[in-house]
């Protein structure tokens, strides 16, 4: 989940960021939480709070990634960069705006390449290098558009060829193994990468014609093609590493598809049992106005997810049974989080922000809950996927406070604090969600 999409923007924000939330100890707040004299918080203290330690839960994959493979990925990036004569001169690129954009792109690529060495796991290094390779491909192609008059039309054949290669691989790989959990975890990575590679190489010619062509736009198409090549290379590598690690693999497609169908059925049944909630009028649910409080934001965030489960629907429509199972596991956690949070709010919890110390307490609760989830749930492999996203949610929320200096009204950070609340709630629900997933596997075997 997390990474290949990326994983990680606004939840697709904080989630897709994340499945999150059962909260932590908080206070009741008045019916009018902000009143005529809004509470002011010290922005510098909030900034310092966001700089505190968070759980380090690196993204991993269920196979060993060889250093030699990572070195080969770096070599490809350097090959792409070596063909570009930097620094650029005005003679080579007369257009100053384009020259500066390509120079900036070159700097960013080198920075990204250096940063890849700081990743917490080899899988994170792999995904980082994939992003660097896409950027290097974009720069390389933009330069070819200047130096060799390369056009987007000429690149369409390359795009189609790469897409054909991705489809051929997609037709050949199989759901095999001796352990359904391990098979699903590797299959989910492949399903997502294949979808992404096909997506970035499926070029709409009409849209292409409507967009101005220049070295930058040519480079963008070249970057997409290089990204697809990287996704294919990495998928083939991971699948080969996985299959060669198996001594007596069996066909698990029936088990995985059965488990996916059971997970969908369980989610639909669970949705029917959720307490009723109107996000447009939470006061009608709880008998008092909780609008713009952390409690309301947290509950609305969860409700948006559990009432729709877009991730499951998307995976089903793309015939991605492994992804369906892991999306369902996240949905189990969020549904439990929604229910527990609903009950706490119904009993009077509002997660009041009356001082920076209240924000600190909610953040600490989220950190503790994520740390516990990562270490205590029944199957570390399944737990790790959710815990990584949850740690990312804390990091995402922290970033909202990094530029604060002056005083800020408490109401303006209520939504951000609500993310801490949801993260804690989801983390607390992880053990039960993993148990449900394991039970589905057992019944589908």
- 3-class state of residue 327 by DSSP: helix
Cα 240 from Cα 236, distance rounded (Å): 6
Q: Between β-strands 250-251 and 176-177, what pairing exists: parallel, antiparallel or unpaired? A: antiparallel
Residue whose tokens read 């990287």: 230
C-alpha separations of 157 from 28, 153, 167, 383 in Å: 63, 8, 15, 42
The pLDDT, as a whole number, for residue 131 is 97
**Is the pLDDT assigned to residue 110 strictly greater than 50?**
yes
User: Considering Cα of 65, then 68, then 70, then 76, what sign does the dihedral take?
Assistant: negative
**Is the pLDDT assigned to residue 281 strictly greater than 90?**
no
CA 154-160-161 angle, 5° bins: 100
**Is the pLDDT assigned to residue 397 strictly greater than 90?**
yes
Minimum mean pLDDT among 166-180, 403-417, 421-435: which range? 403-417
Cα 20 from Cα 98, distance rounded (Å): 42
**Is the pLDDT assigned to residue 11 strictly greater than 60?**
no
Is pLDDT larger for residue 377 or for residue 158?
158
Average pLDDT, rounded, for the chain: 90
**Percent of the chain clearing pLDDT 90 (strictly above):** 80
Cα 160 from Cα 192, distance rounded (Å): 19
Residues 6+ apart with CB under 8 A from 30: none
8-state DSSP, 277: -
Average pLDDT over residues 348-375: 94
pTM of the full structure: 0.89
The pLDDT, as a whole number, for residue 18 is 37
pLDDT band at residue 232 using 50, 70 and 90 as cut-offs:
very high
**Is the pLDDT assigned to residue 215 strictly greater than 80?**
yes
The pLDDT, as a whole number, for residue 417 is 96
Average pLDDT over residues 125-144: 98
Contact 222, 141 (CB under 8 A): yes
pLDDT band at residue 414 using 50, 70 and 90 as cut-offs:
very high
Average pLDDT over residues 172-196: 98
Backbone angles phi, psi at 332, to 5 degrees: -55, -45
Q: What is the 3-state secondary structure (H, E, C) of 239-260?
A: HHHHHHCCCCCEECHHHHHHHH
Cα 227 from Cα 224, distance rounded (Å): 5
**pLDDT tens digits, 325-334:** 999 999 999 9
Average pLDDT over residues 25-54: 71
Cα 231 from Cα 119, distance rounded (Å): 19
Cα 346 from Cα 175, distance rounded (Å): 45
For helices 356-376 and 43-50, angle between their N-to-C axes, nearest 10 degrees:
10
Q: Kindly report the number of other CB atoms within 10 A of residue 157's CB atom.
A: 9
Strand-pair partners of 250: 177
- Reading the block at residue 53, the tokens are 């330690």
Cα 282 from Cα 289, distance rounded (Å): 7
Q: Kindly report the number of other CB atoms within 10 A of residue 399's CB atom.
A: 11
pLDDT band at residue 36 using 50, 70 and 90 as cut-offs:
low
**Is the pLDDT assigned to residue 205 strictly greater than 90?**
no
Residues 6+ apart with CB under 8 A from 329: 263, 382, 385, 386, 433, 434, 436, 437
Minimum mean pLDDT among 133-142, 200-209, 223-232: which range? 200-209
- Reading the block at residue 303, the tokens are 């409700």
Helix (H) or strand (E) holding 371: helix 356-376
Contact 90, 84 (CB under 8 A): no
pLDDT band at residue 297 using 50, 70 and 90 as cut-offs:
very high
Cα 86 from Cα 108, distance rounded (Å): 13
């Amino acid at each position: 989940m997390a990474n290949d999409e990326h994983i990680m923007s606004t939840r697709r924000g904080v989630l897709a960021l994340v499945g999150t939330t059962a909260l932590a100890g908080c206070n009741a707040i008045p019916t009018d939480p902000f009143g005529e004299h809004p509470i002011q918080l010290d922005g510098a203290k909030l900034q310092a709070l966001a700089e505190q330690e968070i759980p380090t839960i690196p993204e991993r994959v269920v196979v060993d990634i060889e250093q030699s493979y990572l070195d080969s990925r770096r070599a490809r990036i350097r090959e792409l960069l070596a063909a570009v004569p930097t620094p650029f001169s005005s003679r080579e690129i007369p257009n100053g705006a384009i020259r500066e954009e390509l120079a900036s792109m070159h700097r960013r690529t080198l920075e990204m390449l250096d940063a890849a060495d700081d990743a917490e796991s080899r899988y994170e290094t792999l995904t980082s290098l994939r992003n660097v390779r896409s950027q290097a491909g974009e720069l390389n192609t933009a330069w070819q558009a200047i130096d060799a008059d390369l056009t987007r039309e000429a690149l369409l054949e390359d795009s189609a060829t790469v897409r054909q290669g991705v489809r051929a691989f997609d037709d050949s790989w199989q759901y095999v193994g001796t352990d359904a959990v391990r098979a699903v975890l590797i299959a989910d990575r492949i399903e997502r990468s294949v979808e992404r590679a096909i997506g970035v190489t499926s070029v709409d010619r009409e849209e292409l014609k409507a967009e101005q062509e220049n070295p930058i736009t040519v480079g963008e198409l070249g970057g997409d093609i290089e990204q697809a090549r990287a996704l294919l290379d990495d998928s083939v590598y991971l699948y080969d590493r996985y299959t060669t690690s198996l001594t007596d693999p069996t066909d698990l497609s029936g088990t995985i598809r059965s488990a996916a169908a059971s997970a969908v059925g369980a989610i639909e049944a669970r949705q029917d049992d959720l307490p009723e909630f109107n996000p447009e009028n939470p006061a009608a649910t709880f008998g008092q106005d909780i609008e713009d409080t952390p409690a309301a934001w947290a509950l609305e965030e969860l409700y948006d997810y559990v009432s729709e489960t877009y991730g499951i629907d998307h995976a089903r429509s793309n015939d991605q049974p492994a992804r369906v199972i892991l999306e369902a596991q996240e949905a189990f956690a969020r549904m439990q989080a929604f229910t527990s949070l609903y009950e706490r709010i119904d009993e009077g919890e509002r997660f009041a922000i009356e001082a920076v110390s209240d924000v600190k307490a909610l953040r600490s609760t989220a950190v503790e809950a994520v740390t516990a989830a990562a270490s205590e749930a029944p199957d570390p492999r399944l737990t790790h996927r959710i815990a990584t996203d949850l740690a990312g949610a804390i990091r995402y929320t922290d970033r909202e406070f990094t530029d604060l200096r002056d005083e800020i009204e408490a109401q303006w950070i209520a939504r951000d604090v609500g993310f801490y609340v949801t993260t804690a709630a989801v983390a607390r629900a992880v053990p039960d969600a993993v148990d449900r997933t394991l039970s589905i596997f057992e019944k589908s075997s």
